[in-house]
Structure 1
Amino acid sequence: MTEPVAARPCAADVLARTRDLLDPALRRAVGTLPPSMRRVAGYHFGWWDARGRPIGGASGTGGGGKALRPAFTLLAAEGAGGETTAALPAAVAVELVHNFSLIHDDVMDGDRVRRHRPTAWAVFGRAQAILAGDSLLALAFAVLATGTDSGPDGRTDNRPDGVPVLAGRVQSLLDGQSADLDFEERAEVGLGECVRMAEGKTAALFGCACALGASYGGATPSQSVLLEAFGERVGLAFQIVDDLLGIWGDPAATGKPVHSDLRNRKKSLPVVAALASGTPPAGAALAALYRRPLAEPELARAARLVEEAGGRAWSLARVDGLLDEALESLRAAGLTPEATAGLEALARLAADRDR
């Protein structure tokens, strides 16, 4: 008699479980910040409004996003045979670094809306938002170095030293963000260098999340390498989907204005793929548009030209390929079946989402 095939876990259920573990530890960590920094950080996380009044449900998650990266950390540790709670410092640190980057990214891009509400800098000013982002980055390393917020006693014994790993990936993130800003000032950007930018800006932290989880879970060196590769492939797919949403996403789902990346003349991957396609006349017309600030009526035309020049098709095909590569690495890592299924569900969510 054939054994029944186990049902694939729902990504929302996986995230809810890891979020229940993460949120109390994340709140405890942010609660150690000076009041001025805590006020801005808590607003950014969606825990309270600009006046410090609590919002959101009983868990206090508010509008704080999906928390995908720390979920990868916790599941990687669990899948390698370790205690999930032992990886909480790493999960908290990864989420703090991610949100540091979001706060600074909003300042640099001038974005006034994130997660359906004004961004931190739009409420508190650019300088205060920059300081709050810096504070989250410093806190991430403090949490990882001391192992605080790991359990009832607030400490993890015999923990691996994840600080150099996280520091290296933060440098990759900053280098990628720098390239992203540089591309806005350049008339021509190659597709290869745009991919490398996205690998630093986004994929590196996804890979780091998995590598840290593997380390805290006691994974073998080969498992750690495979899990980091899995995270990096998922992270790059995530960024491509993010770029697609930045052009064609529904504002009701994304929480950002329609055509937001085109408005900022971002050299995102779909745009660069279209510009590099050599597809006349759409590619040439798009290049001409991108040489100057776009008026509001031109944004829809720019989006249409990106699609006609093949930028959307290239992006969707690359996401599919990256997902296949990621899942190949995941299955080769030999984790527990439950963790493998959970990580696969999250990978598929990252590659097929509307926000």
Structure 2
Amino acid sequence: MDQAQPSHLAAATSWLEQGRTLCVPPLQAAVARLAAPMDRIAAYHFGWTDQYGRPGGVYGGKTARAALAVLSAEAAGAAPTVAIPGGIAVELVHNFSLLHDDFMDGDTERRHRPAAWTVFGGTWAILTGDALLALAPQVLWEQGAPSVAAQAVKRLTDTNCQMVDGQARDLAFEQRDHVDISECLQMEAEKTASLLGLSACIGAVLSGAEDTMVEALERYGHHLGMAFQAVDDLLGIWGPADATGKTAWSDLRRRKKTLPVLAALAEGGDASRQLADQLSNPADRGAESDSLLALRALLIEKAGGRNWTERQVRWHHEAALNALDDVPIPQRTRKKLTDFSETLMTRVR
């Protein structure tokens, strides 16, 4: 892929900081309402404190979804502050999913430190995730105008259902010998793209924007989410541990049926058949060396899985930008949305 333009990264850093500045303080206040010890577990997970509740520095995530919510309000011609309840809600839902996914997937690291479930136990991590999920619609009801809060909550609950369905498919795939690429794409649309679609339009919803504006922004976010997940699939195989914050070869160790793997298996050539033979060998499970995982990554690449997935990233990136052409958006805000999509692309460059 082409080299990223530094100006995109600098601009994205600026508006990500805007989303952080607007949404993190009220997000912290919302999390503080949780019953103990869930308030402390959530604060640790977010990166605000250490496991004992002592201040641990700045937020460990990018708050990209909150920033998108803010931009969607701007795109609809509203003040950025209108989107704050939406920004809080999408960050709560996102982190609910991370708490659950880390435990279900057995991932022991999150944002370069021990995942919450390894520190506080799986039961408390799951319950804290549940609490974040329950808190999200409350924030919308309490802080959003009644005339639009119902629309925002409806979209939020629909997204929650899609995300749960997507996670169920993802877990089920691990028990199946064969998964179609189309099934994987549907799972990724539900598990990842649905929340980015909501993030990219909820500020516009809260501003009372026309349906055409809301739908265009949701399409932008959906395609962005599909590109984002495809990038994650690439990083799950070829991403360095210091960049992903997870164990090296994380997806390969768990034999996850991600897009690069499924595309490689569908290719049908020699490398594809060798990969299929490896993945069907139960003797390798649980005792896979780094050299074996490296060979598996090489076979996926030789069978075209990496190139196919990179093409998916580019296609959805272009589709996201095209969605913005369907509605009148202030040029400055359009530039921010474009910068975000460009920043996403740099994760695989």
TM-score normalized with structure 1 length? 0.91
Of residues 179, 190, 209 in structure 2, which corresponds to 1:189?
179
Aligned-pair distance for 1:156?
A: 4.5
Q: Which moved more, 1:212-221 or 1:117-126?
A: 212-221
Q: Distance in 2 between matches of 1:288 and 1:173?
A: 32
Partners of 2:164 and 2:191 within 8 A in 1: yes
In the alignment, what sits opposite 1:323?
A: 317
Of residues 196, 199, 203 in structure 1, which corresponds to 2:193?
203
CA RMSD of aligned residues (A): 1.5
Of residues 186, 208, 212 in structure 1, which corresponds to 2:202?
212
After superposition, give the CA deviation of every residue in 1:242-285 in whole Å (9 maximum; x if it has no partner).
Answer: 1100111011111111110000110111111111122x211111
Of residues 209, 227, 230 in structure 2, which corresponds to 1:240?
230
Q: Distance in 2 between matches of 1:24 and 1:156?
A: 20
Q: How many residues are paired up?
A: 336
In the alignment, what sits opposite 1:151?
A: none
Partners of 1:40 and 1:129 within 8 A in 2: yes
Give matches, 1:119-268, under 5 Å: 119-147=115-143, 156=145, 158-161=147-150, 162-268=152-258
After superposition, give the CA deviation of every residue in 1:60-90 in whole Å (9 maximum; x if it has no partner).
Answer: 32x2x11111111110111101121121111
2:274 matched to 1:290?
Answer: no
TM-score normalized with structure 2 length? 0.93
Partners of 2:148 and 2:208 within 8 A in 1: no
- List 4+ stretches of structure 1 deviating above 4 A: 155-158
What are structure 2's unaligned runs of at least 5 residues? 1-6
Partners of 2:141 and 2:149 within 8 A in 1: no
Of residues 330, 334, 337 in structure 2, which corresponds to 1:336?
330
Partners of 1:277 and 1:283 within 8 A in 2: yes
2:339 matched to 1:345?
Answer: yes
Q: Distance in 1 between matches of 2:260 and 2:134?
A: 34
After superposition, give the CA deviation of every residue in 1:294-344 in whole Å (9 maximum; x if it has no partner).
Answer: 612311111111111111000111111111110010132211111111111
Q: Distance in 2 between matches of 1:36 and 1:55?
A: 17
In the alignment, what sits opposite 2:294?
A: 300
- As a proportion of its length, which structure holds more helix? 2
Q: Distance in 2 between matches of 1:333 and 1:307?
A: 39
Partners of 2:200 and 2:218 within 8 A in 1: yes
Change (3 A) 1:251 1:112: same
Q: Distance in 2 between matches of 1:342 and 1:353?
A: 17
Aligned residues with identical type, % of pairs: 45
Q: Distance in 2 between matches of 1:248 and 1:304?
A: 10
AA partner of residue 93 (structure 1): A
Partners of 1:79 and 1:217 within 8 A in 2: no
Q: Distance in 1 between matches of 2:252 and 2:298?
A: 11
2:16 matched to 1:15?
Answer: yes
Partners of 2:82 and 2:203 within 8 A in 1: no
Q: Distance in 2 between matches of 1:89 and 1:101?
A: 19
In the alignment, what sits opposite 1:152?
A: none
Q: Distance in 1 between matches of 2:160 and 2:115?
A: 22
After superposition, give the CA deviation of every residue in 1:161-185 in whole Å (9 maximum; x if it has no partner).
Answer: 2111110011111111111111111
Partners of 1:254 and 1:354 within 8 A in 2: no
